[in-house]
Amino acid sequence: MTALSDPGKPALPLHVQIRRDLEDQIRSGVLMPGQKVAFEHELMTVYNCSRMTVNKAMSALSAAGLIERRKRAGTFVKLPRLDSTVIDIPDIQIDITARGESYGFELTERRVRTAVTAKERELAGEDGRVLCLTGLHLASGKPLAVEERLINLAAVPQAEAVDFSHMSPGHWLLEAVPWTQVENEISATEADAELTRRLGIEKGQACLVLDRRTWSGPERITTVRQTYDGTRYRLVAHFDTLRRSAPRP
Amino acid sequence: MTALSDPGKPALPLHVQIRRDLEDQIRSGVLMPGQKVAFEHELMTVYNCSRMTVNKAMSALSAAGLIERRKRAGTFVKLPRLDSTVIDIPDIQIDITARGESYGFELTERRVRTAVTAKERELAGEDGRVLCLTGLHLASGKPLAVEERLINLAAVPQAEAVDFSHMSPGHWLLEAVPWTQVENEISATEADAELTRRLGIEKGQACLVLDRRTWSGPERITTVRQTYDGTRYRLVAHFDTLRRSAPRP
DNA sequence: CCAATGGATATGTCTATACATTATCAAAAA
DNA sequence: TTTTTGATAATGTATAGACATATCCATTGG
């Protein structure tokens, strides 16, 4: 067995290597925002490769928003903007189990009805049928979040036959019905009487609210509001500019 | 003047056109998650171009996470995951003016001190000097958010000379000191006595909290907590899977 | 002194080709 | 039947060259 290449380094493609090198220089501060990056023909000689290979690396960084390229002038590290960063909003069940707690779901109410409220009609249209589910997400046995969900039965007819009494509808939907678009909204609210009772928290406590609407193509799938106990759980968003670029292995 | 090409359509590059077409098909539901996308050689004949051009379009979509490519098998629309979506968290000043309200900042407290608390030491290190600013963001003259900020004077010495009495420190920093990394955290809290007084809201009201830490290369720049009035302002996050792909003009 | 012009240059796009890599499928061997 | 083997087909990577496009910069003309 001759070791032609280190098995730990499975011969990373050259354009990936170039991209990584530049990324590292930006991340470490060797290349600061506004500073000029080497020309393509310079990197060509450094890496001893063709311009297309350098171009592929640079184009990827440009698409990721890390650098800016101007004809004749050259390439520069981009001044980052504070908007458009990446955030993780995981499925609540996955999130809870990931932090080592046991997950449970408890269905409180289940109704099938014709769309009447504005919210329901936005989802299912005039006279569409809607599955209304209300339940509780439990972390280590304790209530963590209240969920109020509407499912468009025209788009997901098989949902009507599913027993959600101990299964997270969101988790089921995630696997059963692939979506193509999502809209989320994060807000804060004060716990009203009902939240107080259902989450077992004090009246008036701050809660984090996550509203989510999903589509599958042109069709609306579901609308959900998850209200979290603000003290026990924080909908933590952890992000980082360079994550816009491809993740490392 | 012969109209070789519509001036409204400035001859979009072919690989961009191909990417857009596929994006549109995914967005509209013509191509559903899991479904097979045409082979490269098929798109070659459709668009009458070389394989490299098709490959560029497909690679971009793959990098954006919209499709999955498997050798020999082909290309498929990816099943979306609920995490890692794109969110806009704009600078508060820009955000307020963008929604047509007038913006104002009012400095409440300004101190230069040696790092003593854990938070300060995390920013400036042992015995580092820190600029502590506390202020109020005003939208249309009314308090909207309280800001508590620490600036690492070792990294940003020029901040000590700046008059922040009516200027948002965050906005100044954004232009004065380019950063390379950010970490954010969103949480909810109940308004305590001080928040109640400073924001002019009722005691116990729910507030949205945004904690942010920025780096410039290996160096820490600033730590800030912005606490928003939960009723008047919602830190609204609006996102969409396909935004991972490049934005449209 | 300022404006217009044009050349030089770096990036953008595209082609045609080559070979590498890998998963699939079918035929051959056990 | 099960396993192995090998051909095949798809993507992945890389090349060299060509032309397009935008813009910086110096030279020229007013």
- The average confidence (pLDDT) of chain B is 85
Whether A86 has a pLDDT exceeding 70, the answer reads no
Is A99 found in the same domain as A72? Answer: no
Q: How many domains does chain A have?
A: 2
Cβ neighbours, 10 Å, residue B2:
3
- Per-residue pLDDT band at B33 (split at 50, 70, 90): confident
Residue ending a domain, choose from B37, B52, B80: B80
Across the interface, of A60, A183, A205, the residue whose CB is closest to B238 is A183
Dump pLDDT digits (tens) for A102-133. 999 999 999 999 999 999 999 999 999 999 99
Segment B57-70 mean pLDDT: 92
Please report, for the domain that includes residue A75, its CATH number. Answer: 1.10.10.10
- The full DSSP string for A134-196 is EEEEEETTEEEEEEEEEEETTT-GGGGG---TTS-HHHHHHHHS--SEEEEEEEEEE--HHHH
Q: For residue A118, is it within any domain?
A: yes
CA of residue A245 to C1' of nucleotide C18, angstroms = 30
Q: For residue A237, is it within any domain?
A: no
Across the interface, of B33, B178, B236, the residue whose CB is closest to A180 is B33
Is A218 found in the same domain as A110? Answer: yes
Please report, for the domain that includes residue B177, its CATH number. Answer: 3.40.1410.10
Is B142 found in the same domain as B107? Answer: yes
Dump pLDDT digits (tens) for A150-184. 999 999 999 999 999 999 999 899 878 877 777 77
More confident residue, B16 or B10: B16
Q: For residue A206, is it within any domain?
A: yes
Is A102 found in the same domain as A66? Answer: no
Distance from CA of B219 to the nearest CA of A (A): 8
Whether B31 has a pLDDT exceeding 70, the answer reads yes
Is A174 found in the same domain as A203? Answer: yes
Residue ending a domain, choose from A29, A59, A80: A80
Is A161 found in the same domain as A44? Answer: no
Comparing C-alpha atoms, which of B79, B56, B55 is closest to residue B67? B79
Is A222 found in the same domain as A130? Answer: yes
Q: For residue A7, is it within any domain?
A: no
Q: Judge whether A135 is closer than 8 Å to chain B, CB to CB.
A: no
Is A103 found in the same domain as A75? Answer: no
Count of A-B CB contacts under 8 Å? 190
Q: For residue B235, is it within any domain?
A: no
Q: For residue B249, is it within any domain?
A: no
Is A105 found in the same domain as A48? Answer: no
Q: How far apart are CA A88 and CA B81, in angstroms?
A: 10
Is A37 found in the same domain as A64? Answer: yes
pLDDT at position B248, please? Answer: 46
Is A137 found in the same domain as A208? Answer: yes
Expressed as residue numbers, the domain containing A60 is: 14-80
Is B143 found in the same domain as B54? Answer: no
Please give the C-alpha separations between residue A10 and each of A4, A24, A54, A163, A192, in angstroms, as whole numbers.
Answer: 11, 19, 20, 47, 57
- Per-residue pLDDT band at B91 (split at 50, 70, 90): confident
pLDDT at position B10, please? Answer: 62
Q: For residue A4, is it within any domain?
A: no
Q: For residue B52, is it within any domain?
A: yes
Whether A239 has a pLDDT exceeding 70, the answer reads no
Segment A213-218 mean pLDDT: 84
Residues of A in contact with B248 (CB under 8 A): none
Chain B span 48-87 residues with beta carbon within 7 Å of strand D: 51-52, 55, 58-59, 62, 69-75
Residues of A in contact with B33 (CB under 8 A): 178-180
